[in-house]
Amino acid sequence: MATKDSAPVAGKLWGGRFTGGQDPIMTQYNESIYFDRIFYSQDIRGSIAYARANIKTGILTDHEFSEIERGLNIVLKEWQDDKFEIQPGADEDIHTANERRLGEVIGKDIAGKLHTGRSRNDQVATDMRLWLRDQLEKLEEYLVDLLKVIAARAENDIEHVMPGYTHLQRAQPIRWSQWLLMFGSFFAEDLQELRHLKARVNKSPLGCGALAGNPFNIDRDAIAMELGFDGLIMNSLAGVADRNFVVKTMQWGAALMMNMSRWAEDLIIYSSGEFAFIKLADAYSTGSSLMPQKKNPDSLELLRGKSGRVFGHMAGLMMSVKGIPSTYNKDLQESVEPMLDHVKTVGDSLQIATGVLSTLAVQHENMLKALTPDMLATDLADYLVRKGVPFRETHHISGQVVSLAEKEAKPMDQLSFEELQGVDKRFERNVMEVFDYQKSVEMRSAKGGTSKSAVMEQIEALKAALAGGQ
């Protein structure tokens, strides 16, 4: 008979092995209930599927399963109605809390059979995958929404011509739509990767036990089918050890936010007074507490800043996982909180980006004012190329024209025909037709270019990429 000093630790699923009390700070340090309670519905769904499979193993009778299912649905309703009462110290995680409450609802004799052959190791991995699978569906919806806005704006704003930049220096004229579609191509790749990621996440670890597998010949395929998984993690050690699916999610999110940050940076620049290519809606701007005239692009600055937060999630988890031995170690608990924040941050960012882009105003007059004739220097070189002059020679000749315009302190298109012929006699009077920004963009008609036809082709390609996942 156990003495008072040798009694199990009260309320702990693992308490039979321990007789000493736990440091209260350790209890708090160890528990995860205050963040993993978000998995309450996934945990209950997994428990019902697991219990159903244990009818065939003989662990549960039909009546016992019915009672477990009934009790778990009561517990689920309490969570949904915000009436579930967490017991600090006793409910160290969502699994413990749900099982404790189930015992109170239907009695411990039946409830105590639920966990047979199962471990919190495969249970938490299942909960995380179920939750993340649902969240990735939402992220896909948000990303598709952003891409639809990009495609729509690119089509509606196709007439607007602006400076294109390299090294943040004016380079050649491009269509505003071409700029939009650059990021559309980046985000479309992110969408493709997300769809691959969803398949990677949607594998079932339930039935792997603590690490070595289930000793009661449970039908893992039936459980996976009930929970909507595409298949199984075939190695039980991998089933409980794997957090690569979280790391891969964070790597995907970090890559997306890298693109998002560059997109935001461009728009921050374009919205500044020095450029004034775009104007943000009031809904996505803030003012200054001191300077009444200010309209700050805080939405975009936060998107740029949040990218660092997302990179941190990824790097932090990889550092936590990289050195731990197989299979399950408590370090893996550190995958949950950053995963929750990562998914929320990425989801919020996608929705803000969509709002920003759908409401901003294009100030195309300022885009046109920013265009300068020297940006057509390559077009001038191409003019002579079409007359059979080697490009390396025409590049040099065009550079001389640029230099002459600077020397004469006037734009290139205001040089006289005689001045141009003074540089090279092969210029003819129709050379002045080169200094036309619309003509310049229309000349770039090869696939991927900035002509209207090429841009429309890119828009259709983006629409096709969106439809590919439907």
- Domain-by-domain residue ranges, the chain? 23-111, 120-369, 372-435
Which of the residue ranges 10-19, 117-126, 294-303 has the most confident prediction, judged by mean pLDDT?
A: 117-126
Residue 396 a catalytic site member: no
Joined tokens for residue 371: 């265009």
> pLDDT per residue over 365-411, tens digit each?
999 999 999 999 999 999 999 999 999 999 999 999 999 999 999 99
- % pLDDT > 90, the chain: 90
- Specify burial of residue 133 (Cβ count, 10 A radius: 0-12, 13-18, 19+): buried
| Average pLDDT of the residues of the chain | 94
Instruction: Check pLDDT > 90 for residue 71.
Output: yes
Work out whether strand 161-166 and strand 361-362 pair parallel, antiparallel, or are unpaired.
unpaired
Joined tokens for residue 108: 């411990």
Residue 358 a catalytic site member: no
Residue 164 · residue 174 · CB < 8 Å: yes
Which position among 288, 326, 403, 416 bears the catalytic label? Answer: 288
Instruction: Check pLDDT > 90 for residue 290.
Output: no
C-alpha to C-alpha distance for 162 and 171, rounded to whole angstroms: 10
Q: 10 Å Cβ neighbour count for 230?
A: 14
Indicate the fold that domain 120-369 takes in CATH.
Answer: Fumarase C; Chain A, domain 2 (1.20.200)
- What string of DSSP letters covers 220-265? HHHHHHHTT-SEE-S-HHHHHH--HHHHHHHHHHHHHHHHHHHHHH
3-state secondary structure (DSSP) of residue 2: coil
Residue 356 · residue 300 · CB < 8 Å: yes
Same fold, 120-369 and 372-435: no
Residue 246 · residue 317 · CB < 8 Å: yes
Instruction: Check pLDDT > 90 for residue 462.
Output: yes
SS3 content of the chain, % helix, strand, coil (to 5): 65, 5, 30
> pLDDT per residue over 79-128, tens digit each?
999 999 999 988 999 999 999 999 999 999 999 999 999 999 999 999 99
DSSP 8-state class, residue 296 = B
Give the chain's radius of gyration (CA, Å). 31
pLDDT of residue 468: 79
Select the CATH number that applies to the domain covering 23-111 from these four: 1.10.275.10, 1.20.210.10, 3.10.180.10, 1.20.1740.10.
Answer: 1.10.275.10
Residue 282 · residue 336 · CB < 8 Å: no
Residue 101 · residue 75 · CB < 8 Å: yes
pLDDT of residue 293: 76
Instruction: Check pLDDT > 60 for residue 459.
Output: yes
pLDDT of residue 12: 56
pLDDT of residue 9: 53
Q: With cut-offs at 50, 70 and 90, classify the pLDDT of residue 3.
A: very low
For 337, residues 6+ apart whose C-beta sits below 8 A from its C-beta are: 35
Q: With cut-offs at 50, 70 and 90, classify the pLDDT of residue 147.
A: very high
> pLDDT per residue over 181-228, tens digit each?
999 999 999 999 999 999 999 999 999 999 999 999 999 999 999 999
Residue 464 · residue 192 · CB < 8 Å: no
Q: Which of 55-64, 86-95, 187-196, 260-269 has the lowest mean pLDDT?
A: 86-95
Instruction: Check pLDDT > 80 for residue 336.
Output: yes
Residue whose structure tokens are 């309490």: 78
What CATH architecture is 372-435? Orthogonal Bundle (1.10)
Which position among 6, 63, 167, 289 bears the catalytic label? Answer: 167
C-alpha to C-alpha distance for 434 and 417, rounded to whole angstroms: 12
Of 338, 333, 339, nearest in space to 121 by CA: 333
For 213, residues 6+ apart whose C-beta sits below 8 A from its C-beta are: 207, 236
